[in-house]
Structure 1
Amino acid sequence: MFRWLVPLFVALAPARAEVVLFPASPETARMTIYSTLDAPLARPLIEAFQGQNPGVTVVYDELLAGEIYDRVLAEPEGTADFIFSSAMDLTVKLANDGQALAVDVPLEGDWPRWANWRDMAFALTFEPAVIVYHRPSFPDGPPDTRAALMGWLETAPRGKIGTYDIARSAVGYLFFSRDQEHFADIWPLVEAMGRAGVRVFPTSQDVIDRVERGELLLGYNILGSYATDQAARRPDLGIVLPRDYVVVASRVGLVPKAARAPDLGQAMLAFLMGREGQTLLAEKLRLPAVSLEVSGRDSAGAMARELGPRLRPVPVSPGLLAYLDPANRARVLARWKAAVE
């Protein structure tokens, strides 16, 4: 994701699960973060946090959402000090299953109710699912509702639409689960994608890159926070917010119960909920802010004023756990596979 950004840090281990060291000198404490956010994008957040907390070296472990969940469960004697994950359901499950600490941070009482579950799991971003498209291929604009998308798919060139592989992408599965709740014809839409030779990928960036090149003409349910900044830099990449409804997901912060330095994890959470952290998320990372104190375009408040009832944010609540029910998930994935393969 955002491949042109080059990490300026000391790499500790090569892998998709990249571990990056943000050293402090002199080092007086060390904090470990497990996060789905790309390490290069985390740089301004970590450096600003270190500016408020001098002497804290940060070990930043970039993982897939499922890997974060598995690691926390596998490390009961000592795990990361802070979790920052795009998988809302898996993160809430950690809290629900007793793997999170209830924290006391300055803004917890003012945080939106939908974005705080029992002072353990906090939504920290407000990220819509969008349609990305190859601008030269849509001189009159792309389909901008799910019904219009179904119509386009009937005559679309084969193999030119992409989306998440919901079996491998936690956020993709979350978006699809919300679609099932808000769009009665979601399965006919998936079947239309299958007939059109849909290609599925584990990350947003896989789709975005192919759409920008014209290898794909359209990407469905793509995380807008990754696409927005790139669209401003890549003229052939377009974005549209669906006119029927817009699912909004959040990255969730949590301090694990088994954290080695829970005080530092709590300090990171407080920083990301504060004005500086929320402003950095919105302005530097283009991850729209939850806090109503951030009044710019990249904020929940601004989107609510512009889009009104079209927005369908996902609450941080145990309701997310229904998406993880093994029997239900198996049925959904089996039906999905039959439709798209």
Structure 2
Amino acid sequence: MIRALFWWLLALWSLAATAEETLHYPADPEAGTPQQLIVHAALDLPQVRPVLEAFHRSHPRIELTYRNLTTLELHQRFLDAPDAADVVLSSAMPWQYHLANDGHAQPLESDVVRRWPAWAQWRGELFAFTFEPIVMVVHRDLIERFGEVRSHEDLLELLNEHADALAGRIVTYDPVRSGAGYTYAIEESRLSPRYWDLVSALGRARAALADTTGEMLDGLEEGRYLLGYNLLGSYARDTVAEHPDLNMVVPEDYALVTQRLAFIPRLAPHPEAAALFMEFLLSEAGQRTIAEQTHLGGMHPSLSGPGTADALREEVGDALRPISIGPGLLATLDRLKREALLARWRREFQREVPPLR
């Protein structure tokens, strides 16, 4: 029963049914005795390539193989062969935590780890290495017609006052089909007493429901939607940068932050190389690469400036709400809790409310 539920939930989480993608960096024969390193991940190549290249420059004697999979494929491959990869990293926070909690991760001990923020790791085994806000993307046409949307409260007011005018022009995750959307729904229902009012307002505006951030961004680019709610900021930034009609908004009242989690499997075939890679991910140099050459958000305590968690905190302040690494993540995998939350979500989304007077 539990295993079947895992596969169902993971299928919902999977961002795309794409084939495996691989990057390979051969060892430099002049750099010393070669070592192997195999990384299995759910992180797209354009985002991870700068990190891999920087690591390989620092450790040229390591032959690095990186396999990019969907979250479903990644998790299933690990369970089928827990000794096949040296490092596993994924945005599917609940499943990464579950694997570590079940004893599949080995501890990493080093000065780099000891300096890593306690809130961004679990037992020295599971580590967050990115800082990615969940955002809104707003079309200029909406702003010109209805004004700025800077917060969840602004969005709720907009939907309450202009539901008919915006019918079908808002898009958000479907928490029934999307694991990401479901996780964000869980977190928001804990954070905001008005979350269910917002769900009802989205329903009255006949909001479109999507499975992925990419699907929402496509609709925003094409002008089918005027506002996207709860998109992954690291993916939205490129689209917004290329389309001047779109604005990315990190909500001022509260902003969820998701993080990619990495661990070294207990049965990793090359644990020494794995430790070097993990230490690089968490080092100032590795995190600087993430901050300056990707949109994933560097979070090393000593880093500031564009592309860092520190800069985002300066912009948004105490409104940031990183999803905690801990037992609460397992609620995502609890069948009864899932059914209860989704039943209420459907009820609120479909609720008939008397028109405002």
**TMscore range, shorter length:** 0.7 to 0.9
2:225 paired with 1:223: no
Partner of 2:81: 75
Paired with 1:66 and 1:18, the residues of 2 have a C-alpha distance of 12
- Check conservation: 1:33, 1:61, Cα contact below 8 A: yes
- Check conservation: 1:66, 1:170, Cα contact below 8 A: no
CA 1:167–1:30: 2 relative to 1, 3 Å:
farther
Q: 1:37 aligns with which of 34, 37, 43?
A: 43
* Mapping of residues 97-116 of structure 1, within 5 Å: 97-116=102-121
2:320 paired with 1:311: yes
* Mapping of residues 10-159 of structure 1, within 5 Å: 16-26=18-28, 28-76=34-82, 78-139=83-144, 141-153=147-159, 154-159=163-168
Partner of 2:212: 203
Give the secondary structure class of the aligned counterpart of 1:132: strand
Offset from partner CA, 1:54-78 (integer Å, 9 cap, x none): 13333322223243223222223x2
**Offset of 1:340 from its aligned partner?**
5.1
CA 1:208–1:20: 2 relative to 1, 3 Å:
same
CA 1:141–1:297: 2 relative to 1, 3 Å:
farther
**Offset of 1:171 from its aligned partner?**
3.0
* Mapping of residues 190-339 of structure 1, within 5 Å: 190-337=199-346
If the length of structure 2 is used for normalisation, what is the TM-score?
Answer: 0.84
- Check conservation: 1:16, 1:62, Cα contact below 8 A: no
**Offset of 1:247 from its aligned partner?**
1.1
- Check conservation: 1:39, 1:60, Cα contact below 8 A: no
Offset from partner CA, 1:91-113 (integer Å, 9 cap, x none): 11111111111112331111111
Paired with 2:299 and 2:180, the residues of 1 have a C-alpha distance of 18
5+ residue gaps, structure 2: 1-16, 351-357
CA 1:260–1:335: 2 relative to 1, 3 Å:
farther
Number of residues paired by the alignment?
A: 327
Offset from partner CA, 1:250-302 (integer Å, 9 cap, x none): 11111112322222222211111111210111111122111112111222222
5+ residue gaps, structure 1: 1-14
**Match of 2:138, as an amino acid?**
Y
- Check conservation: 1:72, 1:256, Cα contact below 8 A: no
- Check conservation: 1:282, 1:298, Cα contact below 8 A: yes
- Check conservation: 1:81, 1:265, Cα contact below 8 A: yes
Give the secondary structure class of the aligned counterpart of 1:37: coil
Offset from partner CA, 1:142-196 (integer Å, 9 cap, x none): 4222232223222343221112233443333222211011111222322322232
**Offset of 1:226 from its aligned partner?**
1.5
Partner of 2:353: none
**Larger Rg belongs to:** 2
CA 1:34–1:203: 2 relative to 1, 3 Å:
farther
- Check conservation: 2:39, 2:66, Cα contact below 8 A: yes
Paired with 1:121 and 1:156, the residues of 2 have a C-alpha distance of 46
Paired with 1:141 and 1:74, the residues of 2 have a C-alpha distance of 52
Q: CA RMSD in A?
A: 2.2
Give the secondary structure class of the aligned counterpart of 1:31: strand
- Check conservation: 1:198, 1:340, Cα contact below 8 A: no
Paired with 1:121 and 1:251, the residues of 2 have a C-alpha distance of 10
Partner of 1:11: none
**Match of 2:84, as an amino acid?**
T
CA 1:171–1:267: 2 relative to 1, 3 Å:
farther
- Check conservation: 2:86, 2:265, Cα contact below 8 A: yes
- Check conservation: 1:75, 1:258, Cα contact below 8 A: no
Name which of structure 1's ranges 112-121 and 135-144 shifts more when overlaid on structure 2. 135-144
Name which of structure 1's ranges 298-307 and 174-183 shifts more when overlaid on structure 2. 298-307
- Check conservation: 1:125, 1:290, Cα contact below 8 A: yes
**Match of 2:49, as an amino acid?**
R
Paired with 1:200 and 1:70, the residues of 2 have a C-alpha distance of 27
Partner of 1:4: none
CA 1:171–1:57: 2 relative to 1, 3 Å:
farther
**Match of 2:85, as an amino acid?**
A
